[in-house]
Each structure stands twice: as structure tokens, then as C-alpha cells.
Structure 1
């Protein structure tokens, strides 16, 4: 019998739940089609489900017809995107995660102090591009400690850092330590401002690694936080696999394994986790337990346009 330990917490965070429900409420209130700039969250199954219900996902605003209801994704957008939508008169509903919006506000506050900004994050990620485009200052992107050593700044005394929300305290502490060592005057947000969901899910995987033989992470390839969960399991010496759904399961992964840890990235729905449990039953009998972990009760307000939907 294979013992399966479910991570706690796992799956949807409050920002993702809110973003998905924003699209659902908009479809209910205004009717399809609703246009969404970029994937609302980084999960193929979620995007496809909303697409079948009338959401249209576009890369750029010029793909949206005049006057059509427009939703900005949970990752946030650059100021130029907001301005372009306003110029075209598009009615916008902003699904930016409030924790991402908080990072934008911090960046603007530091810019108001005439500081250059160091952004700790992944190049090309939608959230990073949105944050850079929200801060009216020079922004230096760093991804590694080595990037810190190569930084060229105008005034080391006028420097601040902010971080991508899908990085945890553990992900950023080495880079922040390197920044502080090289630029002792640098300022930054309190570690409490790190996304609670990222930190909790990563800690759950660290706890899982001590009690299982194999770790499965349900999430999409383009999901930053899901990839990081798999990496953590691997770093802790456990074979770890990132899977879209049950179809990706390979029986040889479980040869000689007695316990499997199962978690999901912050943009992966619980239905996919349950599907993976059913998929594991194809290989034999399973026993399911749930890890002790943090119970999350965070909820975010909806945009004013949708409070009645």
C-alpha cells in the first residue's frame, strides 16, 4: 500500500481565488465575452475552464474590441498598460493581487525618496514586468547573489530593494544579505511583507521532505511558485516532480517508494489534486493522510464594480 501525505497548506491562495472569482463575477454580471490581459493565473486548467465560459485571453490591449470589459491579471500590469486602457476607454477590472499591489506601492514610495530600486525576481515573469513598469525610478533586476556583485548604481546611499511576491523569505535572504553587505545603506520592506502563501507552501514541502520518499507538485510549468516547490523537494534529497495533472504520472517514479508527498502550487485548483489521488489508485491501493500545517483564512476584497455580482 502506498501512503500519500497531503501538504497543508497547498493549492489556491487568496489572491488567486480572488482573481478567478473576479472573472467569474464579471462573466455573470456583464455576460461573455470578458477579455483578460495575459493568463489570469498561471494554470492551464484554470485558463481553459474560464475560456469555455466566455473569457478571452489576450497578450496585448490592441486585441480587445472598443468598449469591451477588460480584466488585468493577478500578476499586475505596468503603468503604461493602465494608461493605454484609459486612452482606449476600456472599462477595466483590476484583479492584481493586493500583495503585488503592496509591492508596487512600496516601490513608488522609495522612488519618491529619490532612490534607485533593486527588484529581486525572475526576468520575464509577468509580475516582475508589471512591477518594473509601476515604479517611476531606475529599477535593477537581480536574480542571484552573483547579480548583486555586478550591480552598477548611481548612488549607493540612495538605494532600496523590493521582491517578487512568489519568492519566499528563504528564497530571498541570501540575495538580501549580499545587498546589505555591499550597500549598507540600502532599505527594504519588513520580511512580514513577503507573500504569506509562498512562505507557507514552501515550509509545508520542507516538512513533507522529512517524511516521504517522493514528492509530487501539481502546477503548471510557467508557474514560478510551483517550480520552486519542486526545486525545494529536490534540494532536500527527495525525487520531486512537477505535474500538470494525473495524466503526467509515471509508475516508475514510485518503484520502492512507501510514502508520497502531494502538494500544489498557489494557482493549482484542488480538483487537480483529487485527480492525482485517483491517478495514483491506478498503481494500487493508497492510504491518505493530511499533514499538520498552517490553516490560512486570508480573504481580499473585490473591486467595487463586482461587489454586487
Structure 2
């Protein structure tokens, strides 16, 4: 007996619709549900040393109040120019004579060098050592083997000494912080871009973290929002008004079409008009009618029925009525 071949044409025809629903409905909905209970920036891990390769010494939740104990610069290898709270230091690799007349090469903070000559592209080429102010300040500037104040010292420079600038290095500032989490005190290093420092410069808060966790905080924030209650009431009111009204109108329209009246085709055309107009066009049309400077206010003022334009699209003036009318039209 010859086996009957299955007709796959209907499945191929419905496949684009399934792909569309998966990409633009199922995936966004699943992603939205995940984001509603998962905070990607909830926890900020602390490092035992001022680098990402060191071990973790604890973690703080976003918003934790912390104490700033110190800071240190680390070479910035990634482009983080758009990061909020990012604090950087610029260091110059200089060559010149130290206080003993020896030629040395090393790193000096940009704050200690006054640039005197630059290339066409703005690259610093030559500068002089800044003079320290204050009677008790050390008049000499220290040169380090690496762009860090924790590196070995290789010499001292006198004020106003001329130096050739061979290279520059940008460092990201790391903060040594201390705070409490779940009744325990933790201390460690974190990059400056994750900490919001207060005006006293010795305290701050964790602005955001680098790892996520399950949370119901977004729902709590939504429920506690002062607009949540009015929004729910307005939504329920629209449901009570729109759904029964649309049902009644649909029955009436169906009966009119079924009755085959004299102008039946005209009624059918009128009923189908909203189906041929995009939601965007309907929204623009209704906005132009009901906005404070719109068509409705212009007509009413022209007829002398109102003295001033009325704001129809605000919650205080029952803007939900306009939303209901718009829903009737579109649906």
C-alpha cells in the first residue's frame, strides 16, 4: 500500500507568523518577566587589592552607605568615558635631570607637570615641574618607576625643571571602602565608577553593582508609587466601560449588516473605516482634536461656548474618557 505523503504547505504558510510571534511577542514578554524579578546591578563585589584579579573580600548591595578609606590608581585599559562617577588620573612618562644632575626616566602625575609644548594633535611633548605651594610642602617632585604612587621611587625633580614627555597613561581611581552588610563589616577595593562620593569626600554610597540577584524590589517600587493606585482605578474603570459598550456596539453592527437594509453597503463601509486606519494615525488625529490648542477647543472658542482652552488630556480633567472614545473607534 502506497504511503500517503503529508501536505506540509499549511505548516510552511504559518511558519512566518510563528516566527513573528516568537521574535516580537514571546521573547519580549519572557525578557520583560525576567527583568522584573532580576536586578543586574544589585551586588558590588569587594576586592582584597585594587585590581579585578584579586580575591573577593565581600560584597555590598546597591545603595549601601560606605566610608572612603583611601584611593589608588590603576591603568585604564578599556574605554569607559561614558561611565557615571568615573574618576581618572593622568600620568606622564618624563625624562630629564634629577636633583643630583642624573638623567632619569619615570612616571609623574599630570598635576605635577605644566605642559609647555604640544604636538599638532594635542599630545604633550615638553613641560616643567610645578612649584609646590605652602611653607611645609616638599619642594621636590617624586618620580616613580610605574604610573602609581605605590611604585618604587627612582628620583626627585626640582621645581621648574624642564622635562621631555615621552608617553601618557590614564589611571582609573579605585576606592578603599568600608561598610556594613547584614550586620557584618566588610572592607575592600572597588572601582570609582561604582561609588557615588558625597560632598565630605570621606563617605558615599554604592551607586550600582556588577552582579545580579533575584529581587521583588521593582514590584515594591511600583506598588508604592503614588500614581499606581490611580492608574489601577482608571484601568478598571476603562474595562468596565469599554468592554460592555464594545460588545453592545458589535451586536448592533452585526444586526444592522444582517438585516440587509437599503444602505447596507454604506453601513459596512463606515464600520470598516477604523480597520483601514493605522493606530498611529488615529492617535495623531485624536491628539490634534483634543489637545489644548487643538481643533475642539478652537471650535468651542469660535462659537463662544468657552472662554479659554480646556485641557482634555490630563488626569485631572478625566482624560480617560478620551482614551475610552479612542478605544471605541479603533476596536
Structure 1 and Structure 2 fold alike (TM over 0.5)? no
Give 1 or 2: higher helix fraction. Answer: 1
Which has more radius of gyration? 2
Q: TM-score, normalised by structure 1?
A: 0.21
Q: TM-score, normalised by structure 2?
A: 0.20
Give 1 or 2: higher strand fraction. Answer: 2
Indicate the structure whose relative CO is greater, using CA pairs within 8 Å and at least 6 residues apart: 1
